[in-house]
């Protein structure tokens, strides 16, 4: 595949988090999961990488997140991220804090790094102590599992109730240098972003300082990871971390760099791809719901109205049942708490208009039924009030969601 022209990104179909220069990854089974599936993974960089993170705003933030924030705060760099699945190490008190730090210390020793160069995170059941004998034994073996082609193994290691792996990679030319940006994520349930209620990992070989990486990550999070919902539950654990090796050797990126917006667009693509993949893989889901609101009083108002629609259990249930019940959509708009002119709302399901200027219009019910049976449903809303706009993603609510979560712990 040829290199795309300056400033334009291209998707690398076979790319993983190890495609950017300097990164290796891997996973193994250490015994946290009842099956033999991988439950411990790592991303390792050959050099200290500029790092940035965004974290859940749940008040009961899990211990590993605080440890990772401490690591990044000591200079803005990481050289490894360690993650376990099957146990969240959340609401575990001082012992949980000690265990998260023990994971960091053991990983640093195994990989020959300083402790502050290592971040840790966990996902799984809340309120149970980590079986540290299994975790520490697995960490000792991690260096043998970390390799240049270990991106798939890492993706397997971070899954909980996910049905599919979620990863993507793009490349572009920055200042004459080829730059890669890749991402991997897990998330299927407890998805209602405020930050991002999932685990996301991005790697890039771009040369960019930590402060600008943080600026960019915070910016794209609002339009990607913060615009998905599965079930309205904000997790205790989850975060997105970006590591930049700088090994592409491009001139350092910053907001005034001529290729800054092109690089930002590429990062945005990675974030949006992962966010949509999480929404599509919602627990029990059969359909992705993409909702766009335009004509709002502001972008912030549009975002809140989008979230109100995709978070509505009644909207989600109607989509599952292929019921063109636009009344549930307009109700969600009305209780969003945002300014709305009740006389100027348009709603379309795909290309099918169901409401114009807040008045119902006749539509082909059979065509609507056929459309709502497809696997991607688009809801379009025009408020005709201003220039505000936003897009977000959710999924339908099915019987399987209840089945999965009725016995998640047992």
Q: Is 374 a catalytic residue?
A: no
In a domain, 283, yes or no: no
Alpha carbon dihedral 94, 158, 73, 244, in 10-degree steps, equals 170
Q: How many residues does the chain have?
A: 410
| Range list of H helices, 326-398 | 326-334, 365-372
Q: Are 266 and 319 in a shared domain?
A: no
Using alpha carbons, select from 293, 46, 25 the residue that is nearest to residue 183: 25
Structure tokens at 86: 């099957």
Give binding residues for substrate as ranges.
160, 186, 197, 283, 405, 410
CB under 8 Å to 57, separation ≥6 — which residues?
Answer: 194, 195, 234
Q: CA 49, CA 241: separation in Å to the nearest integer?
A: 11
Residue 191's pLDDT is 46
Q: Are 271 and 316 in a shared domain?
A: no
Q: Are 369 and 249 in a shared domain?
A: no
Here the CATH number for the domain that contains residue 390 is 3.10.20.340
Q: Are 325 and 189 in a shared domain?
A: no
Residue 90's pLDDT is 87
Given 245, 278, 311, which residue is the final one in a domain? 278
Residue 409's pLDDT is 57
Residue 56's pLDDT is 78
Residue 252's pLDDT is 97
Please give the full DSSP string across 282-322, using - where no structure is assigned: -TT---EEEEEEEEESSHHHHHHHHHHHHT-HHHHHHHHTT
Residue 225's pLDDT is 86
In a domain, 1, yes or no: no
CA torsion through residues 316, 349, 219, 18, sign: positive
In a domain, 374, yes or no: yes
CA torsion through residues 294, 300, 304, 306, sign: positive
Q: State the total domains in the chain.
A: 2
Q: Are 161 and 22 in a shared domain?
A: yes
Q: H-helix or E-strand containing 25?
A: strand 23-28
Residue 5's pLDDT is 46
CA torsion through residues 265, 267, 273, 279, sign: negative
Given 250, 278, 306, which residue is the final one in a domain? 278
Q: Are 200 and 293 in a shared domain?
A: no
Using alpha carbons, select from 263, 243, 268, 252 the residue that is nearest to residue 172: 263
Here the CATH number for the domain that contains residue 243 is 3.60.70.12
Phi, psi of 93 (to 5 degrees): 65, -155
Given 221, 252, 278, which residue is the final one in a domain? 278
Query: pLDDT in tens for each of the 410 residues of the chain?
Result: 233 445 689 999 999 999 999 999 999 999 998 888 999 999 999 999 999 999 877 777 888 999 999 999 999 999 999 999 989 898 889 999 999 999 999 999 999 999 999 999 998 888 899 999 999 999 999 999 999 999 999 999 998 767 678 899 999 999 999 999 999 998 754 444 443 337 899 999 999 999 999 999 999 988 888 888 754 445 566 789 999 999 999 999 999 999 999 999 999 999 999 988 888 876 778 899 999 999 999 999 999 999 999 999 999 999 999 999 999 999 999 999 999 999 999 999 999 999 999 999 999 999 999 999 999 999 999 999 999 999 999 888 888 777 776 765 55
Residue 62's pLDDT is 85
In a domain, 22, yes or no: yes
Structure tokens at 365: 């019910």
Helix (H, G, I), strand (E, B) or coil at 204: strand
Is residue 133 exposed (0-12), middle (13-18) or buried (19+ Cβ within 10 Å)? exposed
Residue 230's pLDDT is 59
Q: Are 113 and 242 in a shared domain?
A: yes
Q: Are 151 and 207 in a shared domain?
A: yes
Residue 273 structural domain: 10-278
| Range list of H helices, 173-224 | 210-223
Q: H-helix or E-strand containing 140?
A: helix 132-145
Q: Are 327 and 268 in a shared domain?
A: no
Residue 99's pLDDT is 96
Residue 271's pLDDT is 94
Residue 352's pLDDT is 98
Q: Which of 197, 204, 229, 391 is catalytic?
A: 197
In a domain, 347, yes or no: yes
Q: Are 375 and 336 in a shared domain?
A: yes
In eight-state DSSP terms, residue 253 is B
């Amino acid at each position: 595949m040829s290199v795309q022209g300056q400033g334009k990104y291209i998707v690398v179909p076979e790319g993983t988090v190890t495609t950017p220069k300097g990164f290796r990854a891997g996973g193994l089974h250490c015994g946290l999961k009842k099956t033999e599936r991988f439950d411990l993974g790592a991303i390792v960089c050959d050099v200290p990488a500029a790092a940035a993170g965004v974290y859940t705003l749940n008040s009961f933030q899990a211990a590993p997140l605080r440890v990772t924030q401490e690591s990044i705060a000591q200079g803005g760099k990481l050289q490894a991220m360690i993650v376990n699945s099957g146990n969240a190490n959340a609401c575990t008190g001082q012992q949980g804090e000690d265990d998260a730090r023990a994971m960091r210390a053991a990983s640093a020793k195994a990989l020959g790094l300083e402790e502050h160069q290592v971040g840790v995170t966990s996902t799984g059941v809340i309120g149970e102590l980590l079986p540290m004998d299994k975790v520490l034994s697995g960490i000792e073996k991690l260096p043998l599992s970390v390799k240049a082609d270990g991106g798939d193994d890492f993706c397997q290691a971070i899954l909980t109730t996910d049905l599919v792996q979620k990863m993507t990679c793009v490349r572009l030319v920055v200042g004459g240098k080829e730059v890669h940006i890749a991402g991997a994520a897990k998330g299927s349930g407890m998805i209602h972003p405020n930050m991002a209620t999932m685990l996301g990992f991005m790697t890039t070989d771009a040369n960019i300082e930590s402060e600008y990486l943080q600026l960019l990550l915070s910016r794209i999070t609002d339009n990607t990871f913060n615009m998905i919902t599965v079930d309205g539950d904000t997790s205790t654990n989850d975060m997105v971390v970006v590591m930049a090796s700088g090994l592409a050797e491009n001139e350092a990126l910053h907001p005034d760099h001529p290729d800054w917006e092109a690089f930002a667009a590429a990062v945005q693509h990675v974030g949006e791809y992962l966010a949509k993949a999480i929404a599509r893989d919602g627990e029990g889901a059969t359909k992705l719901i993409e909702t766009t609101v335009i004509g709002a009083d502001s972008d912030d108002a549009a975002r809140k109205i989008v979230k109100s629609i995709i978070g509505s259990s009644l909207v989600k249930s109607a989509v599952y049942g292929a019921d063109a019940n636009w009344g549930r959509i307009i109700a969600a708009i009305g209780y969003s708490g945002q300014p709305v002119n009740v006389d100027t709302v348009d709603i379309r399901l795909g290309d099918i208009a169901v409401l114009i200027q807040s008045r119902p219009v006749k539509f082909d019910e059979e065509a609507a039924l056929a459309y709502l049976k497809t696997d991607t449903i688009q809801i379009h809303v025009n408020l005709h009030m201003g220039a505000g706009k936003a897009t977000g993603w959710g999924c339908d609510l099915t019987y399987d969601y209840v089945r999965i979560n009725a016995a998640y712990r047992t």
